[in-house]
A = this chain, B = another copy of it.
């Protein structure tokens, strides 16, 4: 159930993005709430995609991608204020879907990992990933 040790090492993620905690992220125990953690991962992931020239919303020709699955493993407790550094890399790539693997760190500590599966869709439903897109996925892989 616990993430593999490789997932807790920031060096294995090709791109790190810093996202900021908010006071509103805190729950009644004074830690970053688990839903707020999902919001931090979402913002990091969207900025990771944007940084690679991939946009999260409607694409040329009605193409867009959808979040099909999110798995978050909570490894430690996060706090406010301060930044969370989120490492990002791509995981498995299928015909029309791919994984974004990420892990969030405050200081030296991993506080959570996230596995997100995205699916490419077009006007007629699920679509195959094109070559340009596939190239970006191949060159920014999570590597354990």
> Would you give the 0/1 interface string for A30-55, flagging 1 where the beta carbon is closer than 8 Å to chain B?
10011110111011001100100000
In the complex, whether A138 has a CB less than 8 A from a CB of chain B is: no
CB <8 Å contact, B67 and A74? yes
CB <8 Å contact, B66 and A74? yes
Copies of the polypeptide in the assembly? 4
- Count of interface residues, chain A, beta-carbon cutoff 8 Å: 39
CB <8 Å contact, A39 and B22? yes
Residue in B33, B42, B117 whose CB lies within 8 Å of A1: B117
CB <8 Å contact, A23 and B38? no
If A47-B81, A74-B66, A74-B69 touch, whether A42 touches B56 (CB-CB below 8 Å) is: no
CB <8 Å contact, A67 and B23? no
The docked-state distance in angstroms from the alpha carbon of A52 to that of B90 is: 41
Minimal beta-carbon separation of A43 from chain B (angstroms): 4
